[in-house]
Amino acid sequence: MNNVYPSNKVKVNAVFISDVHLGFPGCSAKFLLDFLRHVECKKIYLVGDIIDFLYMRKKMYWPQEHNDVIRTILGKAKHGTEVIYVPGNHDEPVRMHEDTVLGNVLVKNEIIHTTIEGKRFLVLHGDQFDSVVKYSPLLALIGSKLYEYLLKANRAVSYIRYQLGLPYWSLAAALKHKVKGAVNYISNFETAVSQMAKQQKVDGMICGHIHRAEIREIDDVLYCNCGDWVESCTALIENKDGSLEILHWTEQYESVKKLATAA
């Protein structure tokens, strides 16, 4: 299901976003800002790789839009939204601040989220499975120079498609699905995550890390991945009725724009 939210707000219980990669040129801050401005929720979980310290160690990159993302999130935290920051491997330095509250944002390396229906989900970034899942060319790609070029090409393609009035399409994501090793890796990762959910006796897992949004039942547990804001611009949401759903914000964004022009 893909609801279109015109001028009104997306009202949900909880929002889960991961792999934003602020400080990395591939970050789609514009779409994320638009999403954050449209969403109203009780809780926001930042599921890791929000700030790309790994990239910034190599090169400093911090445009205004990246600052605006931080300001918008802190603004929500100040005005009653509970914000929980679950760091990932690209923002690993934050992990040593577990249980600290930074600007109304609570840092937790992992945390249980209970839905309105009472279902329990373990929330963590997902790099914890890197040692279990066999080496992945896909993960080696994320954050590399090649990935950066790929995303640049992606932006060029997006711009042309936009000019032609075609919907958003991710070159990087499309290529990733074509690489055989990547597909195997994704399924191994999903299996490893689900096994952990069973061990921890939770109803499901919510993670990020592999830049691929998904909600799928695996072996009686619900595997949820928030996706990313580099290629796919996706968020996982818990609706008012407790159901979980993936929002593809580029689609929402375009629908809203079309409605606005039609009006």
Footprint of Mn ion on this chain (CB under 5 A)? 49, 88-89, 127, 209
Helices 180-199 and 171-178, interaxial angle, to 10°? 90
For residue 8, report the phi and psi dihedrals to the nearest 5 degrees.
-75, 170
Nearer to Mn ion, 12 or 20 (CB): 20
Nearer to Mn ion, 51 or 218 (CB): 51
Closest distance between Mn ion and the C-beta of residue 20, in Å?
Answer: 11
Neighbours of 91 (CB within 10 A): 23
Residue 109 makes CB contacts below 8 A (sequence gap 6+) with 86, 87, 95, 98, 124
Tokens in use for 35?
Answer: 């999403």
Closest distance between Mn ion and the C-beta of residue 133, in Å?
Answer: 13
Measured over the CA atoms of residue 167, residue 46, residue 189 and residue 139, the dihedral's sign is: positive
- DSSP state letters, 113-182: EE-TT--EEEE--SGGGTTTS---HHHHHTTSHHHHHHHHHHHHHHHHHHHTTPPP--HHHHHHHH-HHH
Closest distance between Mn ion and the C-beta of residue 207, in Å?
Answer: 9
Closest distance between Mn ion and the C-beta of residue 127, in Å?
Answer: 5
Closest distance between Mn ion and the C-beta of residue 6, in Å?
Answer: 34
Compute CA distances 231 → 50, 159, 260, whole Å.
14, 14, 25
Distance CA 23, CA 50 (A): 9
Distance CA 246, CA 88 (A): 20
Nearer to Mn ion, 41 or 88 (CB): 88
Closest distance between Mn ion and the C-beta of residue 46, in Å?
Answer: 12
Distance CA 163, CA 56 (A): 32
Closest distance between Mn ion and the C-beta of residue 262, in Å?
Answer: 39
